[in-house]
Amino acid sequence: MEKKSVHEEVFKLLPWFTNESLEEKERDLVMAHLRECLECRKERDQLQRIEAIVKETDEVVSNYRFSYNKLLPRIEEAELARENAAGQNEEVKVRNWLPVAGIAASLMLAVGLIGVYQVGLAPQPIVPQAVATDFRTLTTQTQMVGETTRVALTFEQPVQAVTMRKALIETHSNIISGPDESGTYVIEVEIPPAMSGEEYLQSLRKIEGVRYARLGE
Amino acid sequence: MKKSIHELKTSRGKVDAEDLRLLQRVAIKDKVAFEKLYARLYPQLSRYLSRLMRRPDMVEEVVNDTLFVVWEKAEQFQGRSKVSTWITGIAYLKGIKALDRLRMMPEQQAQSLHEAEDIEEKSNLISKLGLQEWISNGLDQISIDQRSVVELTYFSGYSYQEIADIMKCPVNTVKTRMFHARRKLAKLLPLLEEHTSAGVDIDREKID
């Protein structure tokens, strides 16, 4: 580096030489230059005086708690808004899904009725026999307490939108897929830690409009 | 790949390690950790904003605006700088925005003009002022960006790279801002020296 450019660079670096934040290589460059440059030495001395004066006139800072207490309500309000927004998102998910579910259920019902009319048979249960025999049994199933798990939920047919919505809100669940040919939906739920998997299934079966519930897809 | 705040580790010293530990807890909305972080940063931020803004009445509000962002965005900290550097950068932006808002208000513009006249008057009376007034006057005569560089260098002891991070500008801009600030402050220094040496003489006479 040329002597002039070294001088200019060192001159600019001097404030950080005085606050001792330069890296070793730069510090060495400044120190070497200071030994031979009177102008930079004078500047360094002046900067040290400015620094000393500036530090001497430190501002008085009050206790943090007074200001902190003013911020707390704002934080609590934000947290509340966040929780409400999360709740609304869940509702929106359900609301968005319901028309589709309603149409699908109506179509299925219509197809079923046409089939019955054409074949001239007595109406068959929507839930298959094999499934229906499991209805409200106390069979031990794989438990996934406290984790997100999937539950197959069969509603009374035809399912009412309001019934389904209520069930989903009550269980804080999301619909993953469905309905299948038996009117079963797969939902994702979190089993409360205080309940076993079977207890939770029993509680689901007690929800109005729910005909059947079992763990897994 | 972007790292989560919880994957970050620090090797930059005890203070930064503690700040990071607290920020990681704030990211999971731990209010106890937030209060501790607030208490640690409050003096530094208050001092910085007080000197940057020259509006003591607005400092508390801007400190709280800054730390509210910390509460909301803690999980976005990526560890590219020290925690205190990141937070001081937020404070700088909040301070600038608050002053911009103030300038937009007509009644404040009138007040600023009045203040500017006062400053002019003060500069003629520098020898009658104390250190605090001299600093106040000197800082009033440089731009807000120059003031920020001076404050961060002399009060907070930041390196020019850290100041560039805080102010989101190139390092050469930091050096240039400091260069111009030094030239303006240097003009005031001889007056101060006269004043302080006179003050010392008076004190000595009193002692004798």
What CATH number is attached to the domain comprising B72? 1.10.1740.10
Considering only alpha carbons, which residue of chain B is nearest residue A61?
A: B43
Inter-chain residue contact A15 with B135, CB threshold 8 Å: no
Lowest-pLDDT range of A74-83, A112-121, A170-179, B71-80: A112-121
User: What's the pLDDT at A135?
Assistant: 44
The set of residues, in sequence order, having a beta carbon less than 8 Å from that of A212 and lying 6+ positions away, is A127, A131, A132, A134, A135, A136, A152, A153, A154, A184, A205
Any B CB within 8 A of A25 CB: no
Any B CB within 8 A of A1 CB: no
ipTM of the complex: 0.74
Give the ranges where B104-170 is alpha helix by DSSP (H). Answer: 106-124, 131-140, 144-150, 160-167
Instruction: Verify that B111 and B75 share a domain, yes or no.
Output: no
Q: What is the CATH number of the domain that holds B193?
A: 1.10.10.10
Instruction: Verify that B6 and B69 share a domain, yes or no.
Output: yes
| Statement: residue A208 has pLDDT above 70 | yes
Instruction: Verify that B80 and B125 share a domain, yes or no.
Output: no
Q: Shortest Cα distance from A169 to chain B (angstroms)?
A: 26
Inter-chain residue contact B47 with A55, CB threshold 8 Å: no
Q: Which of B71, B158, B178 sits opposite A21 (nearest CB)?
A: B158
Element (H, E) at B32: helix B31-53
DSSP state letter for B126:
G
| Statement: residue A17 has pLDDT above 50 | yes
| Statement: residue A110 has pLDDT above 60 | yes
Which residue has better confidence, A92 or B40?
B40
d(CA B187, CA B99): 27
Identify the domain boundary among B104, B119, B142: B104
User: What's the pLDDT at A150?
Assistant: 84
User: What's the pLDDT at B122?
Assistant: 46
Considering only alpha carbons, which residue of chain B is nearest residue A11?
A: B179
Inter-chain residue contact A53 with B186, CB threshold 8 Å: no
User: What's the pLDDT at A207?
Assistant: 83
Residues of the domain holding B199: 106-208
The answer to whether the CB of A201 falls within 8 A of the CB of A213 is yes
- Contact residues on chain B for A7, CB-CB shorter than 8 A: none
d(CA A134, CA A26): 79
User: What's the pLDDT at A181?
Assistant: 66
User: What's the pLDDT at B114?
Assistant: 47
How is chain A split into domains, by residue range?
3-56, 62-217
Nearest residue to B158 via CA among B30, B3, B16: B16
Considering only alpha carbons, which residue of chain A is nearest residue B66?
A: A71
Number of domains in chain B: 2
d(CA A209, CA A117): 26
Instruction: Verify that B120 and B162 share a domain, yes or no.
Output: yes
Task: Find the mean pLDDT for residues A175-198.
Answer: 77
Instruction: Verify that B126 and B97 share a domain, yes or no.
Output: no
Identify the domain boundary among B65, B88, B104: B104
Per residue of chain B (208 residues), give pLDDT as tens.
566 666 666 656 777 888 999 999 999 889 999 999 999 999 999 989 988 888 888 999 999 999 999 999 999 998 888 999 999 999 999 999 998 888 766 555 444 444 444 444 444 444 445 666 667 777 788 889 999 999 899 888 899 999 999 999 999 999 999 999 988 887 766 655 555 544 444 343 433 3
User: What's the pLDDT at A107?
Assistant: 80
Which of B38, B58, B146, B183 should one mutate to test binding to chain A, selecting the residue with the greatest count of A CBs within 10 A? B38
Instruction: Verify that B187 and B165 share a domain, yes or no.
Output: yes
Lowest-pLDDT range of A34-48, A53-67, A90-104, B136-150: A90-104
Inter-chain residue contact B46 with A78, CB threshold 8 Å: no
Task: Find the mean pLDDT for residues A77-81.
Answer: 88
User: What's the pLDDT at A127?
Assistant: 43
pLDDT band at A24 (very low <50, low <70, confident <90, very high): very high
Any B CB within 8 A of A19 CB: yes
User: What's the pLDDT at A48?
Assistant: 86
